[in-house]
Structure 1
Amino acid sequence: MLQNIGLSTGLFNENDLLFQFLGIANFAIAPIFYLSVCFYATPFSSWKHRDYLHFAFAFLMLLIIVASLFLDQEIPAETITTAQQDSAEHIFNLLFGLQLTVYCVLAYQKIAKHRQNILLLNSSIEYIELKWLQNLCIGVMVLAFFWLADILFKLSDTSSLVDDLTSLLYLTGVLYIAYQWLRQKEIFPYNLGEQEELKAIIAETTQQELEKKKLVPDDKLEELKTQVRELIETHKPYLADDLNLIKLAEQLNMSSHQLSYVINNGFNENFYQLINRYRVEEAKKLILDPKMDHLSLLGIAFEVGFSSKTVFNTTFKKMTGQTPSEYKRNKLAKTGSD
């Protein structure tokens, strides 16, 4: 964007050294975006030496530009044709578009894995599932497609509308990122010790999928499963919308590692599914309870621990095959006919 501003205002032209060095930043944008996604989606994320490798391509482009400065002194400028310059620019742009697409795909996969992982740890995921970042990845990939089409078919050379629409898309994207970033809650609001436990749980779950390793003997698993069920059904911790794995483990005087294994292997569910199943069962009781007639369906949703109407309706229908209103209407109709 700085390049475009510089060219349009006449501060520099495409042959200036500043313009060329600004171009290197293009090859750092995609890795920075991907590493930002990794930071969001990984508990206790930290910079590693291998992360520098993501900027190897940008460094290579820097070396090429520096080398070209010395070559320019040796090769007369008039020997380089316009066609050669255009070809070099197209290659540069195509490489950028390819790199951007690859990193968006990697970021999309990282977020998809993150959404699986937080189901192990949280009972409410509406504000921490990073759906907006996943949508952003798709949007950037679509934008990259049209951008590459513009390079190959020179669409902007024949119509100024393409440039205007592209600028509008850039502006919309920036505003979208800013708005969602301000709304984004902290995903892993835990101390360092708890975050280390979460990392271990995620790693162990992946390892279990590969090796089916038993962390708890079968007889002990049944005992712990009974303990978990009794506490949930007696004390109803699921009524708190901020319930997570660590909080439930504390109530059970059990390690979060152990509790995660019991839920995944004893109940054959993840933490999110288990807690929301109990919430739905509680909601079904309240919907039909005459004492709760003063509450709307949204009020019942909040009462049983759901944080939004959308999540309540989606989860309820997924588990019962009906929306809450359909369930209530059908049950009341059946009661009336009886």
Structure 2
Amino acid sequence: MINLSLLGLITIIILFVAVLFSFFSFTVKTSNKTPNVLIAFYLLAVAIEISFFFYEGQVNLPLIIHKLRDDVGYLKSPLLYLFFLSIIYSNFQLQVKHLLHLIPFVIVIVVFIPRFYLVNEATRALFVQTYITQPEAIFSALFAHLQHAFYLVLIFVALKDYRQIIAENYSDNRGFSYHWLRKMAWFLTFIFLLAVFKNVYKHIGTNLAILNHLRSVLFVALLFFLCWIVINALYYPMLFRGISIDQKPIADAEKSQKQPSKSTPRLKLAQNEAEEKIALIKQTIESQTLYLDPGLTIDALATQVNLPTKEVSTLINHYLQQHFYDFVNEYRIKKAIEILEDPVNDQLTTLEILYEVGFNSKSSFYTVFKKYTHTTPLAYRKEYRRKHAGSSGN
């Protein structure tokens, strides 16, 4: 009979969600399979690690299998980190070097070899009876938390670079992916802190009921996390649209050019030359209304002005002190204001206007519009009509 405790029931639901969505991720047809494969393996790792609370007391597995099941947890953080990279970078590919992420998993197995894996089953049973006080177990618990914390730091660093690159090179709502991934990272941090609290009590507490309540709270958080991933992945396919893995933030690119080689001269323009090229960029984007293209990138703009992408990026980000995203959206908002002020366009809805001027997200349009006008589009139109009517009456 399966475990029908509260913890057992939550485990059953998690196993169902994890296995079902991993199957979906493996089988769904998509142009980029890497994120799907990585999140599928992560979900399977979660399912394997917590499956003990499903079969506890019902199935007697060999202690070696039981221990390896527990150690699968060391694969979760590397898989999630690689998943983040596969979402951030559209051309990310798994390589042999990524096998280095298996090192923590291998280290833990090696630590347990002398007094667990190389002894007979009876000796292993004695080891398990006092497992929580064994030095290997204490090392394993500390090492696991350090590993999770380390990968969380790597994830936040990757997100920081991702946000910078988006702002410097793209004008669309690619930032939606960044905000989703950031929420996911903070959700993971919350679950990590819950796990730390639970494990601290596991080593210092004596009440098994309280420990199981803590496990239940942790598993409920994990269940919400998995469901949140599933729902977002199904409803927002644009989440899986990343950037090129070769793109770096401008600040990082310049650091790498502090000692330029003959093949990679450092970009430094005279003030008058920079002003001429900036004028060319502005003239081109205005005359050809490039800003109306919701998918406009800095590469496309560089092609139109016949300048290297890095040079255009430096001119906008350093000489104009603007991110490419803000630079393009400024033109879009000016165009939106023109439309709002023209009485002929009074029948146009906000949604129609935002699409017409190059936005493809209502939330991003409202955010940028309020940044420049300190009000909403409808409020701006209403106030403009009121003032215009007043001046006409005079």
Whether the TM-score (by the shorter chain) exceeds 0.5 is: yes
Structure 1: gaps (5+ residues): 190-194
Structure 2: gaps (5+ residues): 1-46, 259-265
Give the conservation status (yes or no) of the 8 Å contact 1:105–1:137: no
Give the conservation status (yes or no) of the 8 Å contact 2:171–2:295: yes
Q: 1:130 & 1:206 partners in 2: Cα distance?
A: 19
Count of aligned pairs between the two proteins? 328
Q: 2:163 & 2:278 partners in 1: Cα distance?
A: 25
- Residue in structure 1 matched with residue 262 of structure 2 by the alignment: none
What is the letter of the counterpart of residue 70 of structure 2? G
- Residue in structure 2 matched with residue 157 of structure 1 by the alignment: 208
Matched, 1:170 2:222: yes
- Residue in structure 2 matched with residue 187 of structure 1 by the alignment: 241
Deviation per residue, 1:301-320 (Å, 9 max, x gap): 11111112111111111122
From the superposition, tell whether residues 177 and 41 of structure 1 become closer, same or farther in structure 2 (CA, over 3 Å). same
**TM-score normalised per structure 1:** 0.84
Tell me by how many angstroms 1:48 deviates.
5.6
Give the conservation status (yes or no) of the 8 Å contact 2:75–2:102: yes
Tell me by how many angstroms 1:271 deviates.
0.9
Matched, 1:137 2:188: no
Deviation per residue, 1:117-170 (Å, 9 max, x gap): 111111013465332221111112111212221222248822454444433322
Q: 1:244 & 1:168 partners in 2: Cα distance?
A: 41
- Residue in structure 2 matched with residue 33 of structure 1 by the alignment: 80
Matched, 1:208 2:259: no
Q: 1:297 & 1:177 partners in 2: Cα distance?
A: 30
- Residue in structure 2 matched with residue 12 of structure 1 by the alignment: 60
From the superposition, tell whether residues 204 and 132 of structure 1 become closer, same or farther in structure 2 (CA, over 3 Å). closer
Tell me by how many angstroms 1:291 deviates.
1.4
Q: 1:157 & 1:149 partners in 2: Cα distance?
A: 15
**TM-score normalised per structure 2:** 0.73
- Residue in structure 2 matched with residue 107 of structure 1 by the alignment: 155
From the superposition, tell whether residues 216 and 12 of structure 1 become closer, same or farther in structure 2 (CA, over 3 Å). farther
Percent identical across equivalent pairs?
A: 20
Q: 1:215 & 1:43 partners in 2: Cα distance?
A: 30
> Aligned to 1:72, what secondary structure does the other structure show?
coil
Q: After the TM superposition, which of the residue ranges 208-217 and 105-114 deviates more from structure 2?
A: 208-217
Q: After the TM superposition, which of the residue ranges 87-96 and 251-260 deviates more from structure 2?
A: 87-96
Tell me by how many angstroms 1:334 deviates.
1.9
Q: 2:71 & 2:225 partners in 1: Cα distance?
A: 22
Q: 2:91 & 2:232 partners in 1: Cα distance?
A: 22
Q: How does 1:56-67 map to 2 (within 5 A)?
A: 56-67=103-114
Q: 1:16 & 1:149 partners in 2: Cα distance?
A: 26
Q: How does 1:214-229 map to 2 (within 5 A)?
A: 214-229=267-282
Q: 2:193 & 2:343 partners in 1: Cα distance?
A: 57
What is the letter of the counterpart of residue 280 of structure 2? Q
Give the conservation status (yes or no) of the 8 Å contact 1:124–1:306: yes
Q: 1:44 & 1:268 partners in 2: Cα distance?
A: 29
Q: 1:105 & 1:244 partners in 2: Cα distance?
A: 29
> Aligned to 1:120, what secondary structure does the other structure show?
helix
2:173 to 125, 138, 151: 125
